[in-house]
Amino acid sequence: MNAHDRAFIAVPPPGEEQAEARSIVLAQPATKDVGRELNRESLTAHGIEVPQK
């Protein structure tokens, strides 16, 4: 990837998207908390080693 490519620059960092999604979910009246969990199956399918819980 080229950090000077406009398409690359236009994509927000993953943490920024997660924070926005968390805010949207927490705004729902019945929601008290939001947790995160890695999709271990998808990551390992793509050859990424994931430590056990």
What are the phi and psi torsion angles at 28 (to 5°)?
Answer: -75, 135
The verdict on residue 31 lying in a domain is yes
The verdict on residue 10 lying in a domain is yes
Distance CA 14, CA 10 (A): 12
Q: What is the pLDDT along the chain (53 residues), one digit of tens a residue?
A: 666 666 666 666 777 888 888 999 999 999 999 988 888 999 899 999 888 87
Judge whether 19 and 28 are in contact, CB under 8 Å: no
The verdict on residue 41 lying in a domain is yes
Distance CA 18, CA 48 (A): 21
pTM above 0.75, yes or no: no
The verdict on residue 26 lying in a domain is yes
Domain holding 33, by residue range, is 6-45
User: Structural domain tally of the chain?
Assistant: 1
- Distance between alpha carbon 48 and the CA centroid of its chain, in Å? 16
The verdict on residue 50 lying in a domain is no
The verdict on residue 20 lying in a domain is yes
The verdict on residue 28 lying in a domain is yes
